[in-house]
Amino acid sequence: MNRVSWIAVTLFGAVFIASFFIEGHAALFMNASALLIVICGTLGALFLSYPAADMLAALRVTVNLSRHTPMTAQQAIDAILDIAMQTRSKGILALESMSEQVTIGFLKRALGLLVDGFKDDELSDFLHAEMLHFKQRRAQFERMFRQAALYAPAFGVAGSVIGLINMLAGITDPDVILKTMPVALTSPLYGIVLANSIFFPIAEGIHTKTQKELLILKLIADGVVILRHEPNPKRLAIKLESFLTPAARSHENRSLEEIRRHLRDLRKETEAPQRARAFVREQA
């Protein structure tokens, strides 16, 4: 997520939590037994449903998606155009050295296949197969969180039943009723809050970001194939920007020289931090 998203989450989350304190009865919403019933029940059901390794992988993917901003479609287009410019002056063999320099994993593999001489249909099949497996992995992670969002309210109801049974067991003792009633009332609350404020949003976030990344992978896969047959960078830019909305197309009305100047500036911005990191490593 970007900075604005984090600010919005923090702000509205704080307002939501503060709503429990408005009437001055915040302690009534705090019950460790109810929270343990919901969390442990949900986690237990998840471990019964999925291997532990898959759950850890889903957690790592969630953390990475929240920490790192994926490449935008415009950045992918600029990278392919930069490659086209360099191959135009140095020839297709320049791809062999460039494939070692490209830090984008999918684009690097695509360039490697292009250098190895795979035909267009073979190249397209390899790249689209990788995209399919990527989509399936992400769909599995998304499903885990959606299942957790279904389990949590169910165990909230279970906690409510447990609290009611304990309350009936001590129906003649007011102290027992006062101790067990919060469990019955707060368990469903915890289940609903966990499902709708954590599990469902995470699942939807994975789905949304996966769709955006798939668009970029599709752009790269088709762009590398077009790169082989389209020597004109201007026409290549127009074809690649067909993936974008009209408002996001920045190269459509630029001349070839303007595109070349834009790519040179981007290359300088990218190379400066790399040289700085290399200098630091040498000094260390």
Q: What is the pLDDT of residues 192-226, one digit of tens each?
A: 999 999 999 999 999 998 998 888 888 888 888 88
- Residues 262-272: tens digit of each pLDDT: 666 766 665 54
The model's pTM is 0.76
Q: What is the pLDDT of residue 149?
A: 95
Write out the two tokens for 212: 């955006």
- Secondary structure (3-state) at 272: helix
Average pLDDT score, the chain: 79
Hey, CA dihedral for 201, 43, 59, 207, is it positive or negative?
negative
The pLDDT-based confidence of 12 (bands split at 50, 70, 90) is confident
Which of 70-84, 85-99, 107-121, 218-232 is predicted with the least confidence, judged by mean pLDDT?
A: 85-99
Cα 176 → chain centroid: 47
Q: Which residues contact 130 (CB under 8 A, 6 or more apart)?
A: 106, 109, 217
Write out the two tokens for 221: 């896969």
More confident residue, 39 or 93: 39
Cα separation, 237 vs 256, in Å, equals 10
Phi, psi of 215, rounded to the nearest 5 degrees? -60, -40
More confident residue, 126 or 19: 126
The pLDDT-based confidence of 275 (bands split at 50, 70, 90) is very low
Which amino acid appears at position 257 of this protein? E
Residue 206, number of CB atoms within 10 A of its CB: 22
User: How much is the average pLDDT of 156-179?
Assistant: 80
Write out the two tokens for 277: 């990191």
Q: What is the pLDDT of residue 97?
A: 56
Residue 198 DSSP code:
I
User: How much is the average pLDDT of 105-120?
Assistant: 81
Long-range CB contacts (within 8 A, 24+) of 129-133: 130/106, 130/217, 131/214, 131/217, 131/218, 131/221
Task: Give the chain's radius of gyration (CA, Å).
Answer: 27
More confident residue, 127 or 177: 127
